[in-house]
């Protein structure tokens, strides 16, 4: 654990000692903030219209009408941001030549892979956690249900774990950060649009495509529904990508 902690601290310091972390978090907060503002404005207008027309039988549900759409939008925004926070994980080490120092150090490949994953994932966690400030305003001025929000954020974090691991794997394949970012973006887009292909395919193939879609597994979380099949999917994706990253680094050792 000590060696994993060393790699973790080293990479995390690299993120926050450069503008990368602050730019990514800032952009993510601005984009999600715009969606939050638009959804909040729409919700307030609808609530006011209901109140003015005095529709006694109608209930205005903030979780259904605002929070769920916000979480769904955030899950898509994450697909565009992940490549920016994972592109330098291994690519920068290869380009600067420090990867040779890592591979010849007493550190094991497993320690390197997990240390870098945890550092990148913490950056992602902080990025997502900052948006919870929006929810705080809702709790101050309204009465949203807590558990749907909690499960929604759990889903965002689980999905991010799989995507961060995917981004680290692609970063381990190249020394060019731009190539790593584009490759990760392409892979995340594929995991998103494959769900749409399921609607155009046969029953069996369609079910397979929908299961592989990373965003489809988030829909239940956004509704406040916990399903172990979605948990298994995200954890399986994370461990598969970590395993492939391990194999990629091991092959670099042999080639070196």
- Please state, in angstroms and rounded to a whole number, the distance separating the CA atoms of residues 173 and 127: 25
User: Range of 80's domain?
Assistant: 2-255
What is the chain's percent helix, strand, coil content, to nearest 5? 85, 0, 15
Residue 239's φ and ψ, nearest 5 degrees, are -70, -35
pLDDT number for residue 255: 62
- In the chain, the largest separation of any two C-alpha atoms, in whole Å, equals 74
pLDDT number for residue 193: 86
pLDDT tens-digit series, residues 195-228: 777 666 667 787 888 888 898 899 899 888 899 9
Q: Based on the structure, what is the number of domains in the chain?
A: 1
pLDDT tens-digit series, residues 157-185: 999 999 999 999 999 999 899 999 999 99
pLDDT tens-digit series, residues 107-116: 888 999 999 9
Nearest to 221 by CA among 130, 148, 162: 148
- Please state, in angstroms and rounded to a whole number, the distance separating the CA atoms of residues 58 and 63: 15
- Please state, in angstroms and rounded to a whole number, the distance separating the CA atoms of residues 143 and 148: 12
Query: How many other C-beta atoms can be found within 10 angstroms of the C-beta atom of residue 199?
Result: 9
pLDDT above 70: residue 55: no
Nearest to 192 by CA among 65, 88, 77, 34: 77
**Whole-number average pLDDT of the chain:** 87
pLDDT above 60: residue 56: no
pTM above 0.85, yes or no: yes
CA angle, 240 as apex, 236 and 243 as ends, to 5°? 140
Whole-Å CA distances, 203 to 34, 43, 199, 200, 214: 38, 37, 9, 9, 19
- Please state, in angstroms and rounded to a whole number, the distance separating the CA atoms of residues 118 and 67: 28
Handedness of CA 32, 33, 36, 41 (dihedral sign): negative
């Amino acid at each position: 654990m000590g060696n994993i902690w060393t790699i973790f601290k080293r990479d995390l310091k690299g993120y926050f000692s450069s503008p990368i972390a602050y730019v990514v978090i800032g952009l993510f907060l601005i984009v999600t903030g715009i969606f939050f503002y638009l959804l909040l404005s729409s919700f307030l207008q609808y609530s006011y219209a209901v109140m003015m027309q005095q529709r006694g039988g109608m209930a205005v549900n903030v979780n259904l009408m605002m929070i769920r759409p916000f979480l769904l939008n955030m899950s898509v925004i994450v697909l565009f941001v992940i490549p920016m926070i994972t592109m330098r994980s291994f690519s920068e080490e290869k380009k600067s030549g420090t990867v040779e120092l890592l591979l010849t150090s007493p550190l094991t490949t497993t320690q390197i892979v997990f240390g870098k994953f945890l550092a990148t994932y913490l950056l992602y966690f902080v990025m997502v956690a900052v948006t919870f400030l929006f929810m705080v305003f809702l709790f101050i001025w309204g009465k949203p249900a807590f558990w749907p929000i909690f499960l929604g954020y759990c889903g965002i974090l689980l999905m991010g774990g799989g995507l961060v691991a995917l981004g680290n794997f692609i970063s381990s394949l190249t020394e060019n950060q731009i190539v790593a970012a584009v490759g990760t973006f392409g892979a995340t887009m594929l995991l998103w649009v494959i769900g749409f292909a399921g609607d155009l395919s046969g029953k069996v193939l369609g079910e397979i495509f929908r299961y592989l879609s990373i965003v489809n597994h988030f829909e239940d979380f956004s509704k406040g529904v916990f399903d172990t099949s979605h948990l298994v999917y995200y954890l399986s994706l994370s461990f598969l990508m970590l395993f492939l990253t391990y194999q990629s680094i091991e092959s670099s050792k042999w080639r070196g």
